[in-house]
Amino acid sequence: MYIVNFTSDDFKSNLKKSDLVIIPVGMVEAHGHHMPLGTDIFSPRLFCSMIEKIIGDKVWIAPEIPFGQSFDLSFYPGTFSVPSEVLAEYVFHIGKSMLENGLKKLIFLNGHGGNVTALSLASQRLVELGMDVMISNWWVDYSKEILTITEGQGHAGEDETSAILYYDEELVQMDKATKNNKKPLLKINFKERGKVLYENALSGDATLATKEKGKKIFRLLTDRMIEAILLIRDGKYYIEE
């Protein structure tokens, strides 16, 4: 149920169907020389439309939050970054307003690694207000599944490029796809990190990407996400072994 397609009256009367909302969170950011700036918006968007087709009446879908935080890649042209503090505050108030409207459970369907800090901060505050919140980072949470389909992962790498080829192949310039196999030795931040580790705004091997792999990623991960959505909707958060 795409919230923005409902009238106020219909939104209210359909609340009994579900109190769970997905907020897709993206970014406008450089993705190699071959991928569109909206890549991190498009992946959550496609997951949402597949979820809507399969279990549309069981979950609300909010409009996308398009701008996020890019610590590493902000010097590449076309990257529009907002600080984590600002994003966290904004996202918190959106969640709070949703809670006040009767939406008690929330999934941030996130498309961009730089957003995680802000989403975690906002989540903590929303949980304090009584909301149940999950942050879903598809390329991390379902890495094991993705690696049954692709050889590797990376920013604008094989998995993400495959995803966007499936979203809309006309937006991808495969003749400009490259690879960058540098891997960090440590989780350490330094000023040139983006330039060094994400040379050409890319990590991994985009040349291995195909539309077919993208289709498999979306199908498999959408199934996994739907399992999670149904568990959350039913309030089943743990098992006892």
Site for Zn ion in 96-125 (CB under 5 A): none
Among residues 95 and 111, whose Cβ is nearest to Zn ion? 111
Torsion of CA 25, 178, 78, 137, to 10 degrees: 10
Among residues 39 and 180, whose Cβ is nearest to Zn ion? 39
Alpha-carbon distances of 85 from 92, 115, 128, rounded to whole Å = 10, 10, 18
- Rounded to the nearest angstrom, the gap between the alpha carbon of residue 63 and the centroid of all alpha carbons in its chain is 13
Closest distance to Zn ion from the beta carbon of 35 (Å): 8
Q: Which span sits near Zn ion by CB under 5 A: 37-45, 141-149, 189-197, 226-234?
A: 37-45
Closest distance to Zn ion from the beta carbon of 27 (Å): 7
Closest distance to Zn ion from the beta carbon of 30 (Å): 9
Among residues 39 and 150, whose Cβ is nearest to Zn ion? 39
Q: Which span sits near Zn ion by CB under 5 A: 34-42, 65-73, 177-185, 198-206?
A: 34-42
Closest distance to Zn ion from the beta carbon of 50 (Å): 18
Euclidean distance between the first and the last CA atom of the chain, given in angstroms as a whole number: 35
Among residues 95 and 204, whose Cβ is nearest to Zn ion? 204
Residues 6+ apart with CB under 8 A from 123: 108, 133, 135
CA atoms of 98 and 8, how far apart (whole Å): 13
What is the number of the residue whose Cβ is closest to Zn ion?
40
Among residues 156 and 225, whose Cβ is nearest to Zn ion? 156
Closest distance to Zn ion from the beta carbon of 111 (Å): 6
Q: How many CB atoms lie within 10 A of CB 99?
A: 19
Among residues 92 and 139, whose Cβ is nearest to Zn ion? 139
Q: Which span sits near Zn ion by CB under 5 A: 15-23, 36-44, 166-174, 199-207?
A: 36-44
Helix axes of 39-55 and 211-233: crossing angle, nearest 10 degrees? 60
* CB contact at 8 A, 36 and 79: no
Among residues 105 and 112, whose Cβ is nearest to Zn ion? 112
Residues 6+ apart with CB under 8 A from 77: 30
Closest distance to Zn ion from the beta carbon of 170 (Å): 18
Query: In the set 40, 64, 158, 159, which binds Zn ion (CB under 5 A)?
Result: 40
113: left (phi over 0), alpha (psi -120 to 50) or beta: alpha
Q: Residues interacting with Zn ion, by CB under 5 A?
A: 39-40
